[in-house]
């Protein structure tokens, strides 16, 4: 998958610079999009294949991959369209979920640094 080759080059380039932490974050998506895809005959196996590929890639590259859509409890009402969040409450839920995941990474890094000093 060409996209993953591009991601790999980017990740390697960023990692070559000291102090840069890399992760993959899935974009927000209106849950209504999946409903429309199903009713339009969209091959949902493509989405599953993408998810499997990106998870395996993240594991191979040793980077976190986060899809926070469900965790942030994003609903169709929260969106202006398929990808733009409308409500402040939804943005807050997404930000809180992202911050919680980032805190785990940063806490682990701090512990690692403390153990090497």
Q: How many residues does the chain have?
A: 117
State which residues form the domain around 107: 2-116
Please report which helix (H) or strand (E) contains residue 66, including its range. strand 65-66
pTM above 0.95, yes or no: no
> What are the residue ranges of helices labelled H in the chain?
2-15, 31-40, 44-61, 88-116
Per the structure, the count of domains in the chain is: 1
pLDDT digits (tens, 9 = 90+) for 16-64: 987 788 999 999 999 888 777 666 666 678 878 889 999 999 999 999 9
pLDDT digits (tens, 9 = 90+) for 60-72: 999 999 999 999 9
């Amino acid at each position: 998958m060409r996209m993953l080759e591009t991601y790999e080059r980017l990740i390697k380039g960023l990692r070559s610079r000291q102090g840069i932490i890399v992760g993959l974050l899935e974009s927000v998506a209106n849950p209504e999009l999946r409903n429309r895809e199903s009713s339009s005959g969209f091959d949902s196996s493509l989405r599953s294949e993408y998810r499997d590929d990106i998870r395996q890639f993240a594991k191979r590259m040793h980077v976190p991959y986060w899809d926070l859509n469900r965790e942030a409890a994003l609903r169709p009402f929260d969106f202006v369209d398929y990808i733009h969040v409308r409500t402040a409450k939804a943005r807050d839920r997404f930000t809180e979920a992202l911050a919680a995941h980032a805190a785990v990474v940063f806490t682990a890094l701090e512990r690692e640094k403390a153990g090497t000093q």
